[in-house]
């Protein structure tokens, strides 16, 4: 273990949840079935904190009560979030403190990669369905485009001096900041853009 410490380290410490690291690592590396991404892990962690506070306040956490409350609290709809916050406050939860404890996906990433020094490197050959399906889609698109172009060239609809060589790459764009990058490159480096980070995430990432 290194001297690194992020917001998630502090929260785990505050809550006496050090054993949570192991579970998070297993989920991230996909040891127990399909792997979970940073966003899912952050959601699960935050939901767990909410559930603990609900238990503590004596509020029912049967079924998916905590998960659905968390969704409403952290969702895009400000009115619903405000209403949920009010309900929880009336039920006796320390809502502000709780929301300050919530972590973002970028914090989870910092924690796994920097604090725990853990690794997960998806490669085109490791057989995971996610990476494989991009590769398959790209190959198919490339073959189809090449066939179509060759036929257009044969019909003299398109002029070319030599043989056509078609390249296909899958591009991903963030609808928030318009960052655009090759999908495989995004997978390799682990992000499309950093625009979803909070200032704290950026500080965590840079203070390494």
> Which residues of this chain interact with Zn ion, rule CB under 5 A?
6, 8-9, 111, 115, 174, 176-177, 179, 193, 195
Q: Which is nearer to Zn ion, 28 or 66 (CB)?
A: 28
- List, in order, residues 6 or more apart from 38 with CB less than 8 Å away: 28, 105, 106, 108, 109, 112
User: Minimum distance from CB of 72 to Zn ion (Å)?
Assistant: 24
**In the block, which residue shows the tokens 């698109």?**
141
Q: Which is nearer to Zn ion, 74 or 191 (CB)?
A: 191
User: Minimum distance from CB of 15 to Zn ion (Å)?
Assistant: 13
User: Minimum distance from CB of 77 to Zn ion (Å)?
Assistant: 21
Q: Which is nearer to Zn ion, 166 or 183 (CB)?
A: 183
For 166, other C-beta atoms within 10 Å of its C-beta total 14
Q: Which is nearer to Zn ion, 66 or 112 (CB)?
A: 112
Spell out the alpha helix ranges (H) of the chain: 7-14, 20-29, 38-56, 65-74, 78-90, 95-101, 105-110, 129-154, 183-189, 199-206
Distances (CA, A) of 99 to 117, 123, 194: 27, 36, 21
User: Minimum distance from CB of 200 to Zn ion (Å)?
Assistant: 12
**In the block, which residue shows the tokens 């991230």?**
28
């Amino acid at each position: 273990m290194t001297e690194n410490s992020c917001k998630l380290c502090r929260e785990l410490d505050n809550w006496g949840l050090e054993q949570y690291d192991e579970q998070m690592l297993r989920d991230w590396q996909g040891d127990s079935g399909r792997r979970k991404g940073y966003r899912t892990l952050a959601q699960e962690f935050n939901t767990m904190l909410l559930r603990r506070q609900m238990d503590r306040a004596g509020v029912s956490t049967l079924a998916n009560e905590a998960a659905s409350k968390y969704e409403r609290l952290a969702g895009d709809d400000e009115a619903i979030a405000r209403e949920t916050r009010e309900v929880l406050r009336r039920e006796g939860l320390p809502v502000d403190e709780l929301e300050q404890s919530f972590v973002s996906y970028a914090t989870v990433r910092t924690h796994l990669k920097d604090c725990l020094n853990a690794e997960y490197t998806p490669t085109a050959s490791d057989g995971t369905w996610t990476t494989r399906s991009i590769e398959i889609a790209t190959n198919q698109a490339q073959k189809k485009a090449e066939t179509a172009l060759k036929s257009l060239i044969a019909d003299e609809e398109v002029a070319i001096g030599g043989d056509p060589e078609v390249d296909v790459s899958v591009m991903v764009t963030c609808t928030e900041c318009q960052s655009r990058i090759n999908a495989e490159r995004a997978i390799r480096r682990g992000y499309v853009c950093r625009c979803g980070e909070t200032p704290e995430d950026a500080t965590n990432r840079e203070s390494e």
